[in-house]
Structure formats: C-alpha cells, structure tokens
Amino acid sequence: MAYIKVGEENSADIELYYEDLGSGKPVLLIHGWPLSSASWERQTAALLASGHRVIAYDRRGFGRSTKPSIGYDYDTLATDTYKLIEALDLHDITLVGFSMGGGEVARYLGKYAEPGRVSKAVFMSSVAPALRHSGDNPEGVDPKVFEGIKQAIEADRYAFLDTFLKNFYNKKLVGGTNISDEAIHASFNVGTTSSYHAMLNCVDAWLEDFRADIAQIKIPTLVIHGDADQILPIEATGKRTAALIPGAQFHVVAGGPHGLNWTHATEVNKVLLEFIAK
C-alpha cells in the first residue's frame, strides 16, 4: 500500500492512497464519485495485459485516502493530481478521468500541464465541459437539481446511494446482462466508505466551468460516453466536450449507461487501448 502526502488539516496529514502497477507507457486513472480506484479493475486488468504501467489513486475523502473536511473544489483536487504526478515523476502519461475525474483531467491540463508530462487525455462519462445552467451556458442543468441531491445526501446518504447506483448502471435497462446485483452491491460498499463531507461537498464542485481549461488542450484526446447515461446525459457533456477539442476522437457507446467502464468494459477497453497505441 502506497500513500503520498498532499496537505494537512490541523494536526493531521492529508494523504492519497495509490497503486502503481506494471511497466511500460504509464496510464493514470482518476475515478468517479462516490467510488474509488477499485472501480477501474476491468480497465486495470486490460491495461496491464497490454504492457502498460497503471497508476490509480483514491480521491481525497474516498476509498483508502485521508478523509478531511476540506479541499473538495477542483483547484485543490487537480493540485492533488499534480502532486502525485510530480512525486512519481511521470512522463508521457495517458490521463484518464471518469465522471467527476474528468474535471481533474480538464483542470490539470488547463492549469498544471508541463511539456512531456501528459501526452494523451481521455474523458470517460465525464462531467465536463460545464454543468451549471447560465446565460452563456444554456445547455447546462438548473442548479436546483444539485441542491436536491445535497438534501438527499444530508437526509440519508445511504438510501440516496442505493438509488443513485441503480441509475449509474441503468439497472432497469440492462438488467442482469451487463451487471449483476452483486456488482452493484460491491459499488455500494465502496461508496459507503467515502466520508460524509466528501460525498456532500463534491456536489458543489460539479458546477465548475471547465471550458477555459478545455480550450487549452492541444494533445490527442478521446471522449467516451454512453448514449443512455442517466447521470450525465451525453448531449450536455460528452458531445459538447468532443466538439470543443479540435481533432478529438468521440466514441459513443450504444446503450451505455454512466458506469459503462463496467457494463461495457470490452468495448471501452478496446477503444481505450487502440487510442493509447496510436
């Protein structure tokens, strides 16, 4: 088990748990909310089998990382990513962000990217480019929706998590063909290990506007999104992100839910590996 210190809260260190496996061209995986790096197991297996070095970490507040009450804004979260990359002295990385993790990818590339560090980027079921509805972002979502999510978490975050994960994997649509009840329950167990502060405060971070960050992306980019995503609908997220990045490869997973890295892992892994190999 490996940890890196990224900050402090009062007398306690804030540490990120990470795994650094295999050898070869590095791929850094950033997970979604409210899961952990464990959610990447199907991609990790495929990447290692293809001869890649795979690094995955738990976001602060989630999984086995420290659970502080602070730091759930994207500037801080992207700084955590930066500190991990610098500490491991990674070069020529493919940076992959799933869902909320897409925000770390966008903000890191907009604020911290150094020549030679990151060579390719992947946005998978990503929160980018901008979720908050406003005059200059009419495609966005009414912020009241997110206030409702916060109220549900405050009332009973475990009951909320149970419903959320069924929509996350589109259980009613795909049934047991693509994901079992047991696999959803495993995600539930991972989600319950997140801290209350992290689960709640990250909701505000989802309203971040990443369009200025995305405008700075000049490296090869892959956008993967399911056309049946009930959490982050493709029209408001993946389709727009791909359109904002010149030359971006846009792969739509037909019938893919939000959690397509599990339900459609074979297709997702094939596209991901082919993109990295180009």
Catalytic residue among 36, 65, 99, 195: 99
Both tokens of 148, joined, read: 């409702």
Catalytic residue among 58, 195, 229, 264: 229
Alpha helices (H) in the chain, listed in sequence order? 41-49, 74-88, 101-111, 143-168, 171-178, 181-192, 196-205, 211-214, 238-244, 260-263, 265-277
User: In angstroms, rounded to a whole number, what is the distance separating the alpha carbons of residues 96 and 124?
Assistant: 7
The residue among 76, 78, 60, 53 whose CA lies nearest residue 4 is 60
Q: Strand pairing partners for 5?
A: 15
The verdict on whether 156 is a catalytic residue reads no
User: In angstroms, rounded to a whole number, what is the distance separating the alpha carbons of residues 231 and 194?
Assistant: 19
The verdict on whether 194 is a catalytic residue reads no
Catalytic residue among 52, 251, 258, 264: 258
The verdict on whether 52 is a catalytic residue reads no
Question: Residue 264, exposed/middle/buried by CB under 10 A (0-12, 13-18, 19+)?
Answer: buried
Question: Are the beta carbons of 273 and 50 closer than 8 angstroms?
Answer: yes
Task: Find out whether the peptide bond into 34 is cis, omega within 30 degrees of 0.
Answer: yes
User: In angstroms, rounded to a whole number, what is the distance separating the alpha carbons of residues 67 and 194?
Assistant: 8
Supply the residues annotated as catalytic. 99, 229, 258
